[in-house]
């Protein structure tokens, strides 16, 4: 047996456990969910077959279509705000904080990850509630005459998401920024570029893989999240994960829930394909 053949066998041997794990716990369950999405309910019984009625219902029933649009809108807003806030923070840590203090700065940045996701959401509910810190501060300053409804709104959901994802994006962007040589900016300045021109034409393009990777991770985690919209957004407007849970928990309509899940997976896949040009995980 040649050396190349032995190397290939060794490589496949090392990959086999991961491939089997992926097939058993992702591919097969996903195929089962796709098959179930074409079934339909007769009373409380699931009748298997090839019926696209669930998908037709998703795109013709305004409640379900609105849930999908709500998820897309919230995710888009959260992603944009998180990138805008995280990039300066990552740049400050990478370029302004002395090297010996950068680990401490990163540690402070990831502190929210040390707290339970549910606890963070309920903490924001207390902060944004009618008697929360925000309303009490505004009342104390005389800026409002009565408490403002912030909790159980889309704004509260966005705030809770942004608090979490800014930290995630900061890490991915910082990892990209720290790899840049300062000579790039110096060369741009020597050629007459201003600080803004240097950033737009040199720094930003070179760090775009880190930004897009962080934005994609934010998109995936945000659009599939159930806890934060449920706790902070209440039931004022449904998101797709909330609608899926309603179909599972209250209606027991597993085929429709499977169809909604497939649509959610399709949205994530489209987001990946749209950003795959810039997704360079080896540079993050």
Q: Phi, psi (5° rounding) for residue 71?
A: -65, -45
Question: Which whole-number Å values give the CA distances from 102 to 93, 106, 164, 232, in the listed order?
Answer: 6, 6, 20, 33
Which residue in 169, 205, 163, 201 sits closest to 284, CA to CA?
169
Higher pLDDT, 126 or 186: 126
Is residue 265 over pLDDT 60? yes
H helix or E strand, kind and range, residue 226: none
CA 171 to chain centre: 14
Q: Are 193 and 202 within 8 A, CB to CB?
A: yes
Res 282: pLDDT:
46
Q: Which residue intervals of 178-253 are DSSP H helices? A: 182-190, 195-198, 204-223, 227-228, 240-246
pLDDT tens, position by position, 54-91: 999 999 999 999 999 999 999 999 999 999 999 999 99
Mean pLDDT, range 33-50, rounded to an integer: 87
Strand 40-42 versus strand 45-47 pairing type: antiparallel
Sign, Cα dihedral of 66, 220, 278, 78: positive
pLDDT level of residue 36 (50, 70, 90 thresholds): very high
Mean pLDDT, range 244-253, rounded to an integer: 88
Distance CA 84, CA 79 (A): 9
Query: Is-above-0.75 flag for pTM?
Result: yes
Candidate from 50-54, 88-92, 115-119, 217-221 with smallest mean pLDDT = 115-119
Is residue 19 over pLDDT 70? yes
Res 3: pLDDT:
57
Which residue in 133, 161, 159 sits closest to 147, CA to CA?
133
Is residue 199 over pLDDT 60? yes
Q: Are 206 and 187 within 8 A, CB to CB?
A: no
């Amino acid at each position: 047996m040649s050396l190349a053949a032995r190397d290939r066998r060794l490589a496949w041997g090392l990959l086999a456990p991961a491939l089997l794990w992926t097939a058993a716990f992702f591919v097969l369950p996903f195929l089962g969910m796709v098959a179930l999405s074409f079934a339909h309910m007769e009373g409380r019984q699931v009748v298997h077959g090839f019926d696209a009625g669930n998908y037709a219902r998703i795109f013709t029933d305004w409640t379900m279509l609105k849930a999908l649009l709500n998820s897309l809108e919230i995710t888009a807003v959260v992603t944009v705000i998180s990138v805008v806030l995280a990039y300066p923070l990552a740049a400050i840590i990478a370029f302004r904080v002395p090297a010996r203090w950068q680990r401490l700065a990163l540690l402070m940045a990831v502190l929210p990850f040390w707290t339970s996701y549910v606890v963070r959401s309920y903490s924001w509910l207390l902060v944004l509630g009618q008697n929360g810190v925000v309303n009490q501060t505004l009342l104390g300053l005389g800026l409002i005459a009565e408490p403002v409804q912030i909790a159980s709104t889309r704004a509260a959901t966005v705030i809770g998401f942004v608090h979490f994802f800014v930290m995630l994006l900061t890490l991915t962007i910082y990892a990209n920024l720290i790899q840049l040589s300062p000579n790039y900016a110096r060369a741009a300045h020597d050629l007459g570029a201003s600080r803004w021109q240097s950033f737009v034409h040199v720094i930003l393009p070179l760090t775009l893989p880190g930004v897009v990777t962080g934005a994609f991770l934010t998109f995936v985690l945000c659009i599939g999240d159930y806890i934060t919209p449920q706790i902070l957004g209440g039931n004022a407007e449904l998101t797709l994960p909330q609608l899926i849970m309603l179909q599972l928990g209250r209606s027991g309509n597993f085929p429709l829930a499977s169809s909604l899940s497939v649509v959610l997976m399709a949205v994530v896949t489209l987001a990946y394909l749209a950003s795959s040009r810039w997704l360079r995980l080896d540079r993050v």
